[in-house]
Amino acid sequence: MLYSEDVFRRRGEMGGSIEVICGSMFSGKTEELIRRLRRAQIARLTVEIFKPRTDTRFDETAVVSHNANSILSTPVDSSSAILLLGSDVQVVGIDEAQFFDAELPNVCTILANKGVRVIVAGLDMDYRGQPFGPMPELMAMADSVIKVQAVCVRCGNPAVYSYRLAPGQSTVLLGEKESYEPRCRACFLEGQ
CA–CA distance, 142 with 19 (Å, rounded to integer): 6
Catalytic residues: 96
CA–CA distance, 171 with 160 (Å, rounded to integer): 17
CA–CA distance, 116 with 127 (Å, rounded to integer): 32
CA–CA distance, 81 with 85 (Å, rounded to integer): 6
How does DSSP classify residue 165? -
Question: How far, CA to CA in Å, does 138 sit from each of 14, 80, 114, 176?
Answer: 21, 15, 17, 25
